[in-house]
Structure 1
Amino acid sequence: MGLPVSLRVDDPGFPGSLGDPGFPGSLGDAVFAWLREADERFSPFKPDSEVSRLGRGEIGQGEVSADLAEVLALCAEYRAATGGAFDAWLPGRGFDPCAVVKGWAAQRAARLLTDAGVTRFCLNAGGDVVVGGGPWRVGIRHPEHADQVCQVLEVTDGAVATSARYERGDHIVDGRTGRPATGLLSMTVVAPTLTEADATATAAYAMGEAGVTWAAARPGCEVYAVDTGRRVLRTPGLRVPV
């Protein structure tokens, strides 16, 4: 996935989770094995991945795996919901579902933990975070100063994702124009799952300032955004530490 991933488990009800340097052993191995598998299968930068083969037309949409069919459905959902601003099939760039796959894959990894009975954990995939059993404090990186945070959120069970240009420049494209998205410096979404938070944050960023209202209207989503005028736009349901 081209990004650092970290896992922390602080679960007094899960044997070995407190002070055991070997925890979570095979469970942790399973989490990272799945993320590596997702990278191999869904990266558009790996020529033998299923995504690359689909993009080249070597397989059709009716021939893909159940997992990729799920990803394709999510891409179609967000494209329709944004009027084409979010588009995984940009002309001249091939099929690139990364904006969906990262959050989707990390959420699947989190499910491995909860299915095993882990209740308190924090999985951080390149700054996008899914947590359980909080409250956890999650910082939002300042869009212009890498060594600062502009807000700290409190999250118990859910996810936080931010889309911005500070790591990869103008990598988010408005599918309606084919040009880099404008209007926002950063868009953070809190949602029940990282699948929703990550895709919604990217889609809203692609929409520009109108994406703030759009994301805020999505069921279960709260928003913290900074526009190009350095204004903070946020929904009242955001929880911050007291």
Structure 2
Amino acid sequence: MSDKTRGTYRRTVDAMAMPFEVFLDGVVDTDAAALGVESFHQDLLWANDVFSLWDADSVLSRHLRGELTLEECPGEVREVLESCEWYRERTGGAFDAHKPGGSLDPTGIVKSWAVARAVWRLDAVASNWMVGASGDVMTRGGVRDIGIANPHVKGSPQGTDVVDVVRLGPEHPALATSGGAQVVDHIWDPVTGELARHFMQVSVAGTDFVSCDAWATAICAGGLRTAGLAMEDGYEVLMIIGGRYDGTFEAQKSPGWPSVAG
């Protein structure tokens, strides 16, 4: 789907079994914009071919089966695995690419890593853009108000109530949200080894898209202690604790959380 009106180019592309919404503002050459978004899309598809654990023929699947050594994989595989280890150490073990039982699953940051790796394609054709990736948002240029989905809503949250609206811009260009709204009980507490149910949903805003993604997952897994570590690193946090009878939510947020409501 694309929309080429009033200097705006919009297109939704599919990769990694999810939609990625791309908005380019101030576009002069729509053909160049279309080419830039298509190149961005191809980079995402490449990342899926390398890292998908659903595809038995992906590079990562073959590596995990022992068919490819790490040296035989593209260098990006080592890069992602090393990033996962860095986040494990930085979060005090709350972000862990190993599932209970020891199997390796680095896909917790692959989506955001793939977007961050590919956005130079968008920078080449626009100075003001936004990418929405299933609840996570990366922006460049300008200011945008972004709604955070109600954790009770499954599937696309468009047209539904939101729990908060945040203002993304130069200070906070990235936003990531994690929890059990879309995939129930998929985050584990590394301390107890049990399913993590500290919060219904966690959102993190900051300067680095991949770090926001990793911290959101880590806080869901590790609870308030991990949220404190994220804030020490300069990230802002919104934690949805539970729902009230009237449909609103109990929540905690860091002092600098960029809510439009203040």
Give the TM bin, normalised by the shorter chain. 0.7 to 0.9
Give 3-state SS (helix, strand or coil) of 1:24's partner. Answer: helix
Structure 2 Cα separation of the partners of residues 41 and 167 of structure 1: 24
Between the aligned partners of 2:36 and 2:196, the Cα distance in structure 1 is: 39
What corresponds to 2:219 in structure 1? Answer: 204
Name the residue aligned to 1:40. Answer: 49
Q: 1:164 to 1:23 in 2, by over 3 A?
A: farther
In structure 2, runs of 5+ residues without a counterpart are 1-15, 155-159, 244-248
Q: CA deviation at 1:65?
A: 2.0
Amino acid in the other structure paired with 2:139: V
CA distance change for structure 1 residues 174 and 138 in 2, over 3 Å: closer, same or farther? Answer: same
- Local SS of the residue matching 1:226: strand
2:255 to 233, 236, 242: 236
**Structure 2: how far apart are the matches of 1:192 and 1:83?**
21
Equivalence for 1:95: 104
Q: Identify the structure with bigger relative contact order (alpha carbons < 8 Å, sequence gap 6+).
A: 1
> Unmatched 5+ residue regions in structure 1?
none
Verify the 8 A CA contact 1:90 1:178 in the aligned structure 2. Answer: no
- 2-side partners of 1:190 and 1:206: how far apart? 18
Q: Deviations over 1:51-92 (max 9, x none)?
A: 112222223334432211110111101112233332212244
- Supply the AA of the counterpart residue of 1:122: M
The one-letter amino acid paired with 1:124 is: G
Matches within 5 A, 1:8-87: 8-11=23-26, 14-16=27-29, 20=30, 24-87=33-96
- How much has 1:34 moved relative to structure 2? 0.7
How far apart, CA to CA, are the structure 2 residues paired with 1:177 and 1:48?
34
Structure-2 residue corresponding to 1:123: 131
Q: Report if aligned partners of 1:184, 1:209 keep a CA contact under 8 Å in 2.
A: no
- Displacement after TM superposition at 1:175 (Å): 3.3
The residue number in structure 2 matching 1:227 is: 241
The residue that corresponds to 1:174 in the other structure is 189
Q: C-alpha separation between the residues in 2 aligned to 1:94 and 1:143?
A: 28
CA shift for structure 1 position 228: 4.2
Query: Conserved in 2, the CA contact under 8 Å of 1:110 and 1:130?
Result: no
Deviations along 1:144-165, one digit per CA (max 9) or x if unpaired, are: 3553211100111411000010
Alpha-carbon separation, structure 1, partners of 2:89 and 2:64: 20
Q: How many percent identity over aligned positions?
A: 32
Corresponding residue number in structure 1 for 2:146: 138
Contact 2:37 2:121 in 1 (8 A): no
**Alignment partners' CA distance in 2, 1:44 and 1:177:** 26
Q: C-alpha separation between the residues in 1 aligned to 2:191 and 2:109?
A: 18
CA distance in 2 between partners of 1:81 and 1:119 (Å): 32
Output the amino acid matched with 1:151. D
Alpha-carbon separation, structure 2, partners of 1:203 and 1:62: 29
CA distance in 2, matches of 1:155, 1:32: 23
Residue 160 (str. 1) matches residue 175 (str. 2): yes
How far off is 1:5 after superposition? 0.9
Q: Distance in 2 between matches of 1:227 and 1:212?
A: 13
**How far, CA to CA, are the matches of 1:53 and 1:175 in structure 2?**
27
